[in-house]
Structure 1
Amino acid sequence: MTVPAAAATPPRPRPPAARPARRRASLAGLGFVLPFAVLFAVFLVWPMLAGLWASFTDRSLARPDAAFVGLANWRELAGDAAVWRSLWTTLLFTLISTPPLVAVALAMAVLTQRVAARLGWFLRFSFFAPFLLPVAVVTLIWTWMYQPGFGVVNGALQAVGLPEVAWLTDEDTVLAAIAVTTVWWTAGFNYLLYLAALQGIPGHVYEAAAIDGAGAWQRLTRVTLPLLRRTTALVVLLQLVASLKLFDQAYLMTAGSGGPNYAARPIIGYVFESGFTGLRIGYASAVSYLFFAVVVAVSVLQFRLFSRKEAE
């Protein structure tokens, strides 16, 4: 004789008193989120929408009214050689500055970790201190260092028998000079990220590798670098976006001229010139949205690349 399965116990109805309490908790959560949501909408969402609308108008700082011009700004942008040259300058700066900013930061972090017991505090202060300096101070220091005749850089070249270089007035060297300045100035932030990640690696991992006969170089390449893969992905992503936003140091070190033959004028510098010097806010908005699309595309591409490597 088969015994019928027991009927499923019906769910108990929620007590009426629990519903108002849950509603009050939801309202309290919305109350905490509301200030941020308002600030986010006012200072980010609304300016983005207003800038997008401005890119379809002939808005100018010289007059209050603005007429809708459709895709006229975008068609002009497509045929403007200065836009594409400024964009290429930005991408070139990113290509020459990102690898050393990652490699130098990693090398400084590894060195600090190796001598943490003796000079760790001194190295942490020395490597991170430049990042705390304002951009005006950094550019002033390096502009004097690059000066011909009395600059430290050219003095070092002459000391080894090499000729002086017009670092900031030569079309072939001005962007590299700004990149070196940027590496010295901003590598400290990436250095902190790497140092924190290194301190999170258990010591027994290195002990096991040493017992297996791994030398210092093998421990670095077979243990440290693989364990820092996620940190490296974060550092590269942040650095790509930061390098693409080049403006301050290039503007100050070239006195706002963009360097000889505009060799160091980034895309943001061209947006600044179009909007605040040329007074064409509508056209500058269109150029800025082109740059925004480039930043998003580079970020997505880099994120997918590292995600694929993680999956492998």
Structure 2
Amino acid sequence: MSARAPSAPAATAGRTRRREGRSWSAGWFVVPFLVFFVLFMIWPIIYGVWLSLTDQSLVGGEPEFVGLANYTEALADPEAWRALGHTAYFTLISTVPLVLVALVMATLVYTGVRGQWLWRLAFFAPYLLPVATVAMVWSWLLEENLGLVNQTLVSLGLGGVGWLSDENAAMWSVTIATVWWTVGFNFLLYLSAMQAIPNHLYEAASIDGAGPFRRLWSITLPQLGRITGVVLILQILSSLKVFDQIYLMTKGGPNGATQSFLLYVYDAGFTGYRLGYAAALSYLFLALVVIVSIVQVLLARRRETTA
């Protein structure tokens, strides 16, 4: 006599149990990531918040809880607002060329200029350099007495410029170095977006008699609207967090003319030895970056819905 087949509900329950068992087994593969995420992301955030509520000093000693005193002091600190103004100024004067220059570079390569591999390498290679190398090279080039830039200007009878020692020129010098260093990334984004534009659009425009400039203006640029929004968001966030090149090239000088907000946070924590106050400054800056990011995303979505 043959054994009876299991009923449908029993078979379904068995499959469900086996599926749940496999799900739990797969979940163990996530545990190492969760451990590292908690140790190196969640816990530092929690500890930083607690630190911002104390008067912790770098020289040691038992910290005392001060509540929101660090935050109120930071909001009334004129030096913090000055550093924030320098950061906003750098963001403005660096974002515009980093978008426009990258677009021009990508257009030159995409339109079929000869030696494309060489142009792509030349445009993107600086982005692969470490910031210390970039800062050292540009500091040598812009050195006031022996730098190549000033020697060239003097030989042309134009006179030298204190690129890194003049308060009016220092931020522009850092911006020029930053544009040269990072524009390759935006160039790559634009070039990838251009290569994704359907060819039939250009073919139809050519049949209608549109020339190269007309195709660029009526097809290429409108198709780049979304990637331009992405580039703007990434570039603004990156420029707001500027620290390395300013610290290496000018250390915030001359007379604090290039002191960014993150450099001020560094000075407050590691020069002024006020870790609690530096933590409060950091979280206020984090809140500002989050607000800017949300506003940019909302504006981008609004443009897409109205387009």
Residue in 2 that maps onto 1:277:
271
Q: TM-score, normalised on structure 2?
A: 0.92
Residue in 1 that maps onto 2:144:
148
Q: Spell out structure 1 runs of 4+ moving beyond 4 A.
A: none
Question: Which segment drifts farther, 16-25 or 258-267?
Answer: 16-25
Residue in 1 that maps onto 2:220:
224
Q: How does 1:1-312 map to 2 (within 5 A)?
A: 13=9, 15-115=12-112, 118-254=114-250, 256=251, 258-312=252-306
SS of match in other structure, 1:262: coil
Displacement of 1:159 in angstroms is: 4.9
Matched AA of 1:34: V
Tell me, in whole angstroms, the C-alpha distance in 1 between the residues paired with 2:288 and 2:152.
39
SS of match in other structure, 2:57: coil
Matched AA of 1:61: L
Residue in 2 that maps onto 1:3:
none
SS of match in other structure, 1:33: helix
Tell me, in whole angstroms, the C-alpha distance in 2 between the residues paired with 1:207 and 1:149.
56
Tell me, in whole angstroms, the C-alpha distance in 2 between the residues paired with 1:213 and 1:223.
14
Displacement of 1:160 in angstroms is: 4.7
Displacement of 1:190 in angstroms is: 1.1
Q: TM-score, normalised on structure 1?
A: 0.91
SS of match in other structure, 1:260: coil
Tell me, in whole angstroms, the C-alpha distance in 2 between the residues paired with 1:212 and 1:143.
52
> What CA RMSD, in Å, does the superposition of the two structures yield over aligned residues?
1.6
Specify every segment of 5 or more residues in structure 1 that has no aligned partner in the other structure, as ranges.
Answer: 1-11
SS of match in other structure, 2:200: helix
Matched AA of 1:139: A
Partner deviation per Cα, 1:73-124 (whole Å, 9 max, x = no partner): 11211221111101111111001101111111111111111226x4111111
Partner deviation per Cα, 1:252-281 (whole Å, 9 max, x = no partner): 101x3x111101011110111111111111
Matched AA of 1:311: T
Partner deviation per Cα, 1:29-75 (whole Å, 9 max, x = no partner): 42233222222221111111111111110111211421101111112
SS of match in other structure, 1:261: coil
Residue in 1 that maps onto 2:5:
none
Q: Percent identity?
A: 50
Q: How many residues align?
A: 298
Question: Which segment drifts farther, 278-287 or 13-22?
Answer: 13-22
